[in-house]
Structure 1
Amino acid sequence: MSRSFDQDLREVKTFLLDMGEKLEIAIDKAVRSLSRLDDGMAREVLQKDPEIDEMEGRIDDKVAALIATQQPVAKDLRKLIAAMKISSDMERMADLAANIAETTIQLVESDQKLFKELVDIPRMAGIAQRMVHDGINSFIDGNVKLSEQMAETDDEVDQMYESVVKELMERMINEQQFTEVSLRLCFVARYLERIADHATNIAESIVYIETGKRVDLN
């Protein structure tokens, strides 16, 4: 490939890094807004969501132009295909973060209170953020080992999700005054579990780039 292609590929990687950074911030702010029932912070997440959507479009356009003009093959082509897939996964994760922010707003508007300080949900969010960070860096570095480790991290999130839902279901049965809040928190835990799944999809894309093989790490 030409020097121009290498420069363009670096630009795609920069877009993905920027997108990943915005996504990590969105996840963090969405869950902090929930923990504090801060609807102002939640609205900030929703206001920023279109920026991530726009970045996905820019990456798709750039990759499509590169494929059309440079006609890459083998690993170079796999990198470009994976970049489009990764940006799509990140856009979906940003939508899920927005769903968490919307939950905060709904709780505030209906004057619902949390029945205890959130612990496991912020922990799940922190792990999901780390998975996003590791996924993008493994793409930049071609680090297959790191991407494969993300599958183990996803299993940890799945276990936490099951534990959170079990606790919340018991709360709904035994303390019915908290049914609505518990149900909404179940959805939040599900959103975070789905974010981790999308991060694992990124890991699968890295393995595909480096080996040419499609694997299922979920």
Structure 2
Amino acid sequence: MTDKHLSSQFDGELNQASARVMDLGGLVENQIRLAIEALSHFSLEAAAQVEVLEARVNRMEVEIDHELITLIARRQPTARDLRLVMAFSKVIANLERMGDEATRMARMVRSIIERGPARALPSGDLRTAAELAAGLLRKALDALARLDTRAAVDILKEDDLVDREFDGFVRKLVTYMMEDPRTISASLDLLFLAKAIERIGDHSKNVAELIIYLVEGKDVRHAALEEIESSIQ
């Protein structure tokens, strides 16, 4: 078998792995969409669908991770190919954790529906933050498909919007709890929901950083944004 044939087979396997990662990303996107629907309409049906999808996400993560380990063992990739496989492994871990956060959102929505009082609290503000976080995931998957470092940097900037929404919402909840201690329990439900949304944004940011690592070969996880921007010029 010629080296060219081997290289062609390896490229095909990498493309297949990439497609599997994108499939997992699409599944997690669907989870988050359903979690937002559950929150927006206080829908027990949508919340239940999120939890059903969790099992599929977990199974896919394990399967893809095994495929990547097998790929490394058989092909022993080096340089950029090795970075690609390692980045894929970290991306699927972040996607699985986003799925966990969507499931956490669904469970908190169920708790809110059962308790009732939280409906009178500012849950609408959370929908805005949730849409922002979902948008970050969509952009991260698109940037990954195109290996677009510029788009990845934009995601790092936009994650600050999610963080600011979270901080503002927490301040608002504290005000509600101080004014009426009876809202404390319900407010905590919403606080955990808000934290789950913030974490989805954080994991999308992690994916963006992995794109930069993959393309540029630079670990930018703890670098300042200005430093990251200058490193890809």
Which range, TM-score by smaller chain?
over 0.9
TM-score normalised according to structure 1 size? 0.94
Matches of 1:26 and 1:67, distance apart in 2 = 30
Q: Tell me the secondary structure at the aligned position of residue 130 of structure 1.
A: helix
2:39 pairs with 1:48: no
Question: 1:23 is matched with which residue: 7, 18, 28?
Answer: 28
Superposition RMSD in Å: 1.6
C-alpha spacing 1:142/1:217, structure 2 compared with 1 (3 Å): farther
C-alpha spacing 1:163/1:30, structure 2 compared with 1 (3 Å): same
C-alpha spacing 1:31/1:217, structure 2 compared with 1 (3 Å): farther
CA contact 1:115–1:178 (8 Å) conserved in 2:
no
CA contact 2:159–2:205 (8 Å) conserved in 1:
yes
Which deviates more, 160-169 or 112-121? 112-121
Which digits, 9 at most, give the CA deviation of each residue in 1:74-114, with x for residues without a partner? 11110100000000001011001100100111122334441
Aligned to 1:203: 208
Question: 1:150 is matched with which residue: 136, 143, 155?
Answer: 155
Ranges in structure 1 where 5+ consecutive residues have no aligned partner: none
2:186 pairs with 1:191: no
TM-score normalised according to structure 2 size? 0.88
Matches of 2:111 and 2:124, distance apart in 1 = 20
Following superposition, the deviation at residue 207 of structure 1 comes to 0.7
1:52 counterpart letter in structure 2? V
CA contact 1:208–1:214 (8 Å) conserved in 2:
yes
- How many equivalent residue pairs? 218
1:167 counterpart letter in structure 2? K
Matches of 2:126 and 2:23, distance apart in 1 = 25
Higher CA-based Rg: 2
CA contact 2:17–2:64 (8 Å) conserved in 1:
yes
Aligned to 1:63: 68
Aligned to 1:133: 138
Matches of 1:163 and 1:43, distance apart in 2 = 29
Which deviates more, 12-21 or 108-117? 108-117
